[in-house]
Amino acid sequence: MKSLTRTISLQKSAKSITDHNPVMVQRFGADPYALVYDGRVYLYMTGDKPSYNADGSIKENTYGNINTINVVSSDDLVNWTDHGSVYAAGKTGAASWGPNSWAPAAAYKNIDGKDKFFLYFANNGNGIGVLTSDSPVGPFIDEIGGPLISRETPNCAEVTWLFDPAVLMDDDGSAYIYVGGGVPSPDKAANPGTARVCKLGDDMMSLDGDPIAIENVDYLFEDSGINKIDGTYYYSYCSNFNVTPQAASELGFESGEIVTMKSDSPMGPFERCNPVLKNPERFFGRGGNNHHAMFEFNGEYYITYHSRILEEGLDMDGGYRSTNVDKLVLNENNEPSKSAGTRAGVAQLKALNPYEEVKAVTLSNASIGLKTKQYGDVAKKCGSGDMILCDISNGAWTSVSGVDFGTDGAKEIAFTLNVKETNPNGDYRGAIKVCLDSPSGEAVGCAVIANEKADNVEAIAEFTEPVTGEHNVFFVYAGEGYEVYSWIAR
């Protein structure tokens, strides 16, 4: 084992091994929206894509090339499974009529005895599309063949930015969509009048009536949000960057801050409530736009939002965003209240069971350069679904946190992988070290990967003695030319 891995130098990661934010490090993901379904939280994110100048320098993020929606999920809010990137818009996307897919929102509804999933997105600033699927991870299709909301929709032509949807599924089975943003002119910064709400049809793909304005939204910028807590409806948004010092003193919030309003009706009228989250610059030093979603999971409330800490960890500076999750503070009235953004993130909610197959793209952290890609015909065609870990090289590593091996312990871990090419200079393709609690720790086992080009190859790391108890587990890779699909302890 030592002869295979003794020359390995560990590659760097973009975040500390003790940090849980950002939740995904293998690519960017902005404007997060949370859907809780069947014991898991699914996060849908704008697929920020770095662009480069001819000299290799990074371009500023202009959002114009974004036409995918990234999807990850977790049942513990620390280990996140990568489900790929929905090919939502663009010429080869499900909604080929639209060039872009920004700021997704997701919902599901039981229709004719079967759960159906709806993925809403902004076609840049000019309307809202909706895709459907029988699964929260796709494949998604466009059933209506055009926008759900457009400039032709009544009361929407004058909305500066017709984007950033949020969807409420109410207790009685009815659903509502919230959209809009932008400042029409400087003199309207204090009350832009560009927020809209509309009831959705029973099919979730049509409107039940005309959108109406949400009145008196102080310093609205963008980023619709909606939650129902103890019978009260909370509309939330990001304030614009024209909040004066006097207004900040009167209203209690600053520019670029997440703010709430409340009502006893899903369509309002709404009244001022509380600020919730300062601009990411306050917590992390790098600012920009602010985008959030609040959600309940296992009886606790959380807020997901984006920051620029991943690009900082990658030594980039182009306005590319990554998604965080932190606790949402509720005040004595059970209202969303001032919360904080952190690098540490939230505590793991439950231990990971290693005795059930774990996808290799289930990660709490990973070294820079490792990637994931679509696996299988469906995912390759549609962008989301099954994924495999790729771009492996010497010293790369991944981790999963809070793995509970129990009192009897595990004797080995078996990896399922694909060997893509043979090694002309050796008897093996590579190896995977299994380390506990630190990537630089002494390996408890090492799986040697045979030098044979084949799919669904099993490589086994036998432990020197049974591994018991709960540990953070690090997989350190040697060699290249192979991809890892899953692992299981035995």
Cα 348 from Cα 308, distance rounded (Å): 23
Burial tier of 90 (Cβ tally within 10 Å: 0-12, 13-18, 19+):
middle
Distances (CA, A) of 288 to 21, 30, 99, 257: 18, 12, 23, 11
Angle at 180 between CA 176 and CA 330, to 5 degrees: 65
Cα 66 from Cα 335, distance rounded (Å): 34
Cα 212 from Cα 398, distance rounded (Å): 48
31 is a catalytic site residue: yes
User: Residue 201 carries which DSSP code?
Assistant: P
Do residues 215 and 269 lie in contact, with contact meaning Cβ atoms separated by under 8 Å? yes
Cα 229 from Cα 296, distance rounded (Å): 9
Q: Determine phi and psi for 130, rounding to 5 degrees.
A: -145, 130
Cα 10 from Cα 25, distance rounded (Å): 17
Q: Cβ–Cβ contacts within 10 Å for residue 38, how many?
A: 10
Residue 283 belongs to what H/E stretch?
Answer: helix 280-284
Do residues 305 and 32 lie in contact, with contact meaning Cβ atoms separated by under 8 Å? yes
- Give the type of residue at 457: V
222 is a catalytic site residue: yes
Q: Cβ–Cβ contacts within 10 Å for residue 298, how many?
A: 13
Q: Which residue has the tokens 């049509």?
A: 206
* Catalytic-labelled residue, pool 31, 48, 82, 164: 31
* Catalytic-labelled residue, pool 48, 82, 142, 222: 222
Cα 358 from Cα 356, distance rounded (Å): 6
- In whole angstroms, how large is the CA radius of gyration of the chain? 23
Bridge partner residues of 459 (DSSP): 415
Cis ω before 139 (30° cut-off from 0) = yes
Task: Please list the active-site residues.
Answer: 31, 222
